[in-house]
Amino acid sequence: MGNSQDARLRSSPGVWEETLLELIARTSTDLPRDVEAALLDARSAEDQGNGRDALDAMIANAGLARERRQPICQDTGTILFWVEIPPGRLAQSVFREAAERAIVRATRDGLLRQNCVDTLTNRNTGNNLGSGSPVIHWAEREGTTAEVWLLLKGGGCENVGIQYSLPDPALDAGRDLEGVRRCALDAVFQAQGRGCSPGVLGVALGGDRATGYAESKRLLLRRIGERSAVPELAELERRLLAEANSLGIGPMGFGGRTTLLDVFVGCRARLPASYFISVSYMCWAYRRRQVKASLDGTPIEWS
Ligand code: SF4
């Protein structure tokens, strides 16, 4: 490796640290506009009652959090990064070190709750760092810039995620899209208002148990209303959204027309012997942000 490339790989943890701190701040405190718009639409659709009151509280909460730059919810969630970088242009260790420093500062500043517990000792690590925390998914991309997504996923909605193995005789669900539909609706029905509805479903077909769940979370990087490029999956998304919202569960389970804000379906290859359906549920506090940056970490575009 030449000296200049070596320097590029090691470059600028400080710049990355500042950019990632800002990414955490935006994600924790500033609900994406597409999510806020979906909550406003849901509020318009609800009759007077507890469901509409719950939506009013969520919308007011989101506005206050943005104005005061404070967390949207007390549970600031699992810290999940997806990083796409051109091959050989940014050392993963540089990014991880910067991310860890940014997380420690964000925790100290109250942008993140002390939210990471050592599973064996039950001791809170106090700074959100621990074995497997944060989670960082890596991928290569063409070009000369890096793209980083951050998802903060709360525990309540994580608890209602579920995985099915088809065929599932209890649901009369076979290895086809009708079987997938039955599983996804069962997941929503079982969740009821838990998971802080109205939520968003990521539904991954195929993969193994681990990659199916990983894909179901990656699907949550889409924006509200963004349909699958695969026509039959897009049709399934539309149908599931309409059917889930006809169950009457409503915001926070209070009853009403909006149980989900959207459904995203994706597909991975599988073994002949396996057909997993992995469902991740994201709560209304759908904290998902992205930054496009130069390889030294200088931000180019926020979304
Ligand atoms: S599920 Fe979401 S909205 Fe509910 S407490 Fe957890 S983070 Fe907050």
User: If you search the block for the tokens 């404070």, which residue do you land on?
Assistant: 70
Secondary-structure class of domain 3-30+69-154+287-302 per CATH:
alpha beta
Instruction: Place 88 in a pLDDT band, splitting at 50, 70 and 90.
Output: confident
Among residues 155, 120, 97, 102, the alpha carbon closest in space to that of 282 is found at: 155
Task: Report angle CA 35, 224, 29 to the nearest 5 degrees.
Answer: 30
Among residues 31, 27, 83, 69, the alpha carbon closest in space to that of 297 is found at: 83
Query: What is the number of the ligand 1 atom nearest to the C-alpha of 196?
Result: 4
β-pairing, 199-205 with 276-282? Answer: antiparallel
Among residues 150, 253, 126, the alpha carbon closest in space to that of 196 is found at: 253
Using CA positions, which residue lies closest to atom 4 of ligand 1?
196
Q: What is the pLDDT of residues 192-247, one digit of tens each?
A: 989 999 999 999 999 999 999 999 999 999 999 999 999 999 999 999 999 999 99
Q: Look over the chain and give the mean of its residue pLDDT values, rounded to a whole number.
A: 95
Amino acid letter, residue 290:
Q
CB 282, CB 153: distance < 8 Å: yes
Question: How far is 117 from 123, CA to CA, in rounded Å?
Answer: 5
Among residues 204, 201, 92, the alpha carbon closest in space to that of 138 is found at: 92
Alpha helices by DSSP H, listed for the chain, are 3-10, 13-29, 33-45, 50-68, 92-108, 155-159, 177-191, 209-218, 231-244
Question: How far is 33 from 153, CA to CA, in rounded Å?
Answer: 17
Question: How far is 266 from 264, CA to CA, in rounded Å?
Answer: 7
Q: Is residue 158 classed as helix, strand or coil in its secondary structure?
A: helix
Asked whether residue 2 carries a pLDDT value surpassing 50, the answer given is no
- In the chain, where are the structural domains located? 3-30+69-154+287-302, 156-282
**Ligand 1 pocket, mutate which of 28, 73, 197 (most atoms under 8 A from CB):** 73
pLDDT score of 242: 98
88 Cα: distance to centroid of ligand 1 (angstroms): 38
Q: Is the CB of 20 under 6 A from ligand 1?
A: no
97 Cα: distance to centroid of ligand 1 (angstroms): 28
Distance of CA 20 to the CA centre of its chain: 17
Using CA positions, which residue lies closest to atom 1 of ligand 1?
156
- Cα–Cα distances (Å) from 53 to 42, 43, 59, 80, 149, in that order, read 11, 9, 10, 31, 32
β-pairing, 260-267 with 199-205? Answer: parallel
Among residues 125, 128, 7, the alpha carbon closest in space to that of 71 is found at: 128
Paired strand residues for 214: none
- Cα–Cα distances (Å) from 18 to 71, 97, 176, 291, in that order, read 18, 12, 47, 12
Q: What is the pLDDT of residues 116-138, one digit of tens each?
A: 999 999 999 999 999 999 999 99
DSSP 200: E
Q: Is the CB of 126 under 6 A from ligand 1?
A: no
259 Cα: distance to centroid of ligand 1 (angstroms): 15
Q: What is the pLDDT of residues 256-302, one digit of tens each?
A: 999 999 999 999 999 999 999 999 999 999 999 999 999 999 999 99
38 Cα: distance to centroid of ligand 1 (angstroms): 17
Tokens of residue 90, six digits: 């940014």
232 Cα: distance to centroid of ligand 1 (angstroms): 31
